[in-house]
Structure 1
Amino acid sequence: MTQPDLSVLDDHFSAMTWGWVGDRGTWTTDAARASLDALEQLGCSWIVLAYATLQATPQSTRIDYAAAPTLTDDEVRWGIRESRRRGWKICLKPVVNVANGTWRGFIGFFDQDVPGEPTWAEWFASYTDYIVHHARIAEEEGVELFVIGCEMVMTDGREAEWRALIERVREVYSGLVTYNCDKYQEDRLTWWDAVDVISASGYYPTGEWPRQLDRIEPVVRRHGKPFLFIEAGCPSRDTSPQRPNDWTLEGAPSGQAQADYLDEMFTACAARDWVGGFALWDWPAALYNPADAAANTDYCMYAKPGEAIVRDYYASRRSG
């Protein structure tokens, strides 16, 4: 494979995550086309196509990505081609979730193999098969950026396994490779040198952005690689700016709280020249009715005050 071209990132990576969780049958619909059409008004230069497959429990070692509810290959290709037709550069983000509802960050096994117990080697073999399969699709469709994993905190310390996975991906995919670490993990990974782009989930509480950016900056400077907040955002609830990563946190609907949080985040990061951009969370394949936006408490900012904040910020990046 040829050396990945970092210039495709340009100076204004302005993205939205679309289509989550990507259950089979949800993408190739009229509603999905309408959602993509509505997203065009936001001024994104990139789109992150995010979808999940399932393993049964955090200690399962079988990832059957060919089975429902995982998107079919044709559905993934549909999302890529529809996005390309709208002029966006594309990041493909296949993710593994746990069917019993446990967050993927808790997927993990014994440090030392024990006879009869599931092992890291078994899990990584299945996970690598899943990721390499989708890396081949990314290569065939000309996808510019590929995410090899998302917020898999308990796996992060398995450096040798991740390096081996990256080598397998690079055998079939010539674009840029990144790993989406979870919040607070940017300075803990020991294998950033193996990827092309450092990326993280930036769900930091209101008031915390300057301190967290101070913590992350030395990592980015040391490795000399582009950095993206490839997830970032806040539910539109009055409580969510204090805990933006918690989609279950109860609170009253508040589009203004979301808008204020996004403005604070953008303002803090604009002062750091090493922050290469954002892929905001998230824009569903089936949008709610705009008339219901005031009561909607999810991350999507469609028809809420936050939409104007994002549109204006993305426009300023294009003109800057």
Structure 2
Amino acid sequence: MRLIYAFCLLFLLGSCAMTSINPTKINGVSFVASRDSISKKNIDPILKIHANYASVMPFGFIKNLSHPEIQYNSNRQWFGETKTGVKQYILELKEEGVHVMMKPQIWVWRGEFTGQISMTTEEDWKFLEDSYTKFIMDYAKLAEETDVEIFCIGTELENFIDKRPNYWKKLISQVKQVYHGKLTYAANWNEYLKTPFWSNLDYIGIDGYFPISDLKTPSVEDCKTGLQPWKNEMKAFYSKLKKPVLFTEFGYRSVDFNAKQPWRSDGYLDEVNLKAQTNATKAFFDAFWNENWVAGGFIWKWFHNHDKSGGKEDNQFTPQNKPVEFIIKEIYSNN
């Protein structure tokens, strides 16, 4: 009788474990590729803020918005942008217990916005599709080989998707033949509502650079008020699709007016404002990290040489060596 009871108890406990939802958020950093390989010393600062995921981002390059050929994995690229470097980063991160999202990205020379990529002929569209497929499939195979938990099939490619939706559904099927982890796409904050293939993916991926305040130094409450309409929109979208939201990128610069156009990384503003960064980031966490329909996200951005990155004179996105780093550590340690 005791043996039967023990067996039943183990069965029930196992059933509960299999059906329960893991409450842990994806507390991620966007780990920037560099010229160098990485080691434990480069990963320790990630662990110190209790991040459990890192986004690793190999790059492909095109000459301009209407050029169809993607060049990648060349000896002219930085080590961390190549297949060899990406694999080394992934293996080192995993050795230290950090999960990985692989997020291959396109860079247009001179930094033009990838969402505006568009070909002028059918021949060029076909060329771009073949080139992009090769780029993505190479990295999907590497993601499978290295047991990457999440694979992102693209980043902010609105026009490419809008003009060639059937291609993308075919690409997703091809990726699923070689990669068996979770899939997402990184839609821009104003793009995700019309992305046509969320039902074929595991997460609604959003780069969360929503405009939320015109103030020079918005308070936490100002930012939360500005985020509320976007939060309502996303929650309604989640309720419709039943797919969790994953912020494939999110973050704010440490600069004046940082919540007005949070996506901007150019030099249109240069006054350092650490308080604005701290307030906006705290508001973002307050708005989303306790919601069960939000899987988590990846702070933009984190450099491998922590001691030399960010700091109180830096007006860019990285939270490293700034007051906002303590906010991230606090949130990540509790989720």
TM-score (norm 2): 0.84
Please report how far the alpha carbon of residue 93 of structure 1 lies from its aligned counterpart in structure 2 after TM superposition. Answer: 0.7
Tell me which of 96, 99, 103 is aligned to 1:93: 103
Please report how far the alpha carbon of residue 227 of structure 1 lies from its aligned counterpart in structure 2 after TM superposition. Answer: 1.4
Whole-angstrom distance in 2 between the partners of 1:7 and 1:62: 46
After superposition, the Cα gap between the structure-2 partners of 1:267 and 1:47, relative to the gap in structure 1 and judged at 3 Å, is same
Q: Which letter does structure 2 place at the counterpart of 1:59?
A: S
Whole-angstrom distance in 2 between the partners of 1:307 and 1:7: 32
After superposition, the Cα gap between the structure-2 partners of 1:311 and 1:178, relative to the gap in structure 1 and judged at 3 Å, is same
Please report how far the alpha carbon of residue 268 of structure 1 lies from its aligned counterpart in structure 2 after TM superposition. Answer: 1.4
Tell me if the contact between 1:186 and 1:219 (Cα under 8 Å) persists in the aligned partners. no
Please report how far the alpha carbon of residue 37 of structure 1 lies from its aligned counterpart in structure 2 after TM superposition. Answer: 2.3
Whole-angstrom distance in 1 between the partners of 2:286 and 2:88: 35
Runs of 5+ unmatched residues, structure 2 = 1-17, 213-222
Residue number in structure 2 paired with 1:194: 200
Please report how far the alpha carbon of residue 62 of structure 1 lies from its aligned counterpart in structure 2 after TM superposition. Answer: 1.1
Whole-angstrom distance in 1 between the partners of 2:117 and 2:160: 7
Tell me if 1:151 matches 2:156.
yes
Please report how far the alpha carbon of residue 104 of structure 1 lies from its aligned counterpart in structure 2 after TM superposition. Answer: 1.2
Whole-angstrom distance in 2 between the partners of 1:200 and 1:36: 25
Q: Percent identity?
A: 23
Runs of 5+ unmatched residues, structure 1 = none
How do 1:1-320 residues align onto structure 2 when only pairs under 5 Å count?
11-19=24-32, 22=33, 26-28=35-37, 34-67=41-74, 68-69=76-77, 71-110=81-120, 113=122, 119-157=124-162, 158-206=164-212, 207=223, 208-248=226-266, 249-270=268-289, 272-287=291-306, 289=308, 293-317=311-335
Task: Compare relative contact order (CA 8 Å, sep 6+) and give the higher one, 1 or 2.
Answer: 1
Larger CA Rg, structure 1 vs 2: 2
Whole-angstrom distance in 2 between the partners of 1:288 and 1:237: 21
Tell me if the contact between 1:205 and 1:241 (Cα under 8 Å) persists in the aligned partners. yes
Q: Which letter does structure 2 place at the counterpart of 1:316?
A: N
Please report how far the alpha carbon of residue 6 of structure 1 lies from its aligned counterpart in structure 2 after TM superposition. Answer: 11
Please report how far the alpha carbon of residue 109 of structure 1 lies from its aligned counterpart in structure 2 after TM superposition. Answer: 2.0
Instruction: Indicate the RMSD between aligned Cα atoms, in angstroms.
Output: 2.2
Give the aligned length: 301
SS of equivalent to 1:242: coil
Tell me if the contact between 2:59 and 2:82 (Cα under 8 Å) persists in the aligned partners. no
Deviations 1:49-82 (A, max 9, x none): 1232201111111112132326332211100011
Residue number in structure 1 paired with 2:8: none
Deviations 1:9-60 (A, max 9, x none): 75311111102xx35xx2415xx75432222211011111123220111111
SS of equivalent to 2:84: helix
Please report how far the alpha carbon of residue 271 of structure 1 lies from its aligned counterpart in structure 2 after TM superposition. Answer: 5.3
Q: Which letter does structure 1 place at the counterpart of 2:53?
A: W
Please report how far the alpha carbon of residue 155 of structure 1 lies from its aligned counterpart in structure 2 after TM superposition. Answer: 1.4
Whole-angstrom distance in 1 between the partners of 2:52 and 2:71: 33
After superposition, the Cα gap between the structure-2 partners of 1:296 and 1:274, relative to the gap in structure 1 and judged at 3 Å, is same
Deviations 1:223-281 (A, max 9, x none): 11121111000111122122211111313112221111101111111453311212110
Deviations 1:182-216 (A, max 9, x none): 01222111211111111100011334211011112
SS of equivalent to 1:294: coil
Whole-angstrom distance in 2 between the partners of 1:181 and 1:81: 27
TM-score (norm 1): 0.88
After superposition, the Cα gap between the structure-2 partners of 1:124 and 1:8, relative to the gap in structure 1 and judged at 3 Å, is farther
Q: Which letter does structure 2 place at the counterpart of 1:302?
A: Q
